[in-house]
Structure 1
Amino acid sequence: MKETRISDPRTNDRIRVPEVRLVGPGGEQVGVVRIEDALRLAQEADLDLVEVAPNSKPPVVKIMDYGKFKYEQAQKLKEARRNQANTILKEVRFRLKIDKHDYETKRKRAEGFLQAGDKVKAMILFRGREQSRPEQGVRLLQRFAEDVAEWGTVESTPTIDGRNMVMIIAPLKSKVDAKAEQNAKRAANKARPQSPEDPDGSADNAAAADKTEEE
């Protein structure tokens, strides 16, 4: 599939309008000036004049380092794509009449997915006349969302999809980051070499305790 390319903004001499609304390199509003004056100010600052709002009347331009701007934009796009690729949609299926044990099993599984940074697609499979009672499905999914609220937040509210009802729950970034940091610390502690005389690290713990008492 061919990727849609967004055209680059006009810069410097390619900006062919009589007047522009100029923004300085520090974000300060200079005001409406002639294009010649805007180009001169950009040249004096050894920077570029970039059209940032071509549809405004007059167009808005900003004095900036265009090469640096393009690099930063490319890095942001790359990071966004990487985050999107790393987010996996995991599916958890329910029956409308689900027993307590099965529900708890699926809740714990969903929490594990959210803790790993994945989204959860909670789906209720309606059978027969159950399709005439969608409000029961909504209540079940709302209860499920409340039960996993420590690790996730509702991204897409319950909706009917054919004979099913679907809700999407996204992981809470702060919780995921905290767990990842905790796991990294555990891994670092396991990898730390121990002294033959102190294989369990008790000497370090004792030293830390002595330091606390001194304080």
Structure 2
Amino acid sequence: MPVTWIDQEELKLWGDHTASSALRTQAFSFGSSNTENDSNGGTGSAGANIRGLGNLSTLTLINGRRSGGNSAVGFQHGGFADLTLIPTAAIKEIEVATDGSSVAYGSDAVAGTVNLLLHDNFEGNRMDASFSNTSDGDASEKTFSFLSGQALSESTHLALLGSWYQRNSIEARDREISKDADRRSQGGQNQGSPTYPGRIQVDGQSMC
């Protein structure tokens, strides 16, 4: 079956701070999926979603072994594997089988299989950091990760790693198009709401 590989250099090149964000940029990922966002009803948990069939139809493996499900989200079949719990510094490569693997793994692999290969023989020290920001409003992203590995013997290898990620939110008031829906100064009404006081513009006319 066709297999797509995403190595650590690609994760670094495209600025992917989680395995889920790397998968969402691939052609086989489309449709709605859980993300690491915890706003607008999001939970902060993110799973793999191949061909838009849902998190519960895509099997996640870690070093070829079935990973545990996130029972806090989904509640069906134990939920899906939360990819945000695995630091990108720990990932050596991601293998994605984009055709159904239900014959080998069962019904939770009907959309495909994602296999996260973790570092098992890295030696040395590595640190990565990045910063990015928008030109309008402060929606900065900051990431930091480190990886340190050492071979203790022919059969024993020690690895220490971790990652940190922070992204500032963009509020409705940060954009001209959504910061106000009060038209009383124009002879209209205040059409804002406590949860979303936004507006859009169509052909120069403001509409809620």
User: TM tier, shorter chain?
Assistant: under 0.3
Q: Answer with 1 or 2: which has the greater Rg.
A: 1
> Normalization by structure 1: what TM-score?
0.25
Structure with higher RCO (Cα < 8 A, 6+ apart)? 2
Structure 2 length-normalised TM: 0.26
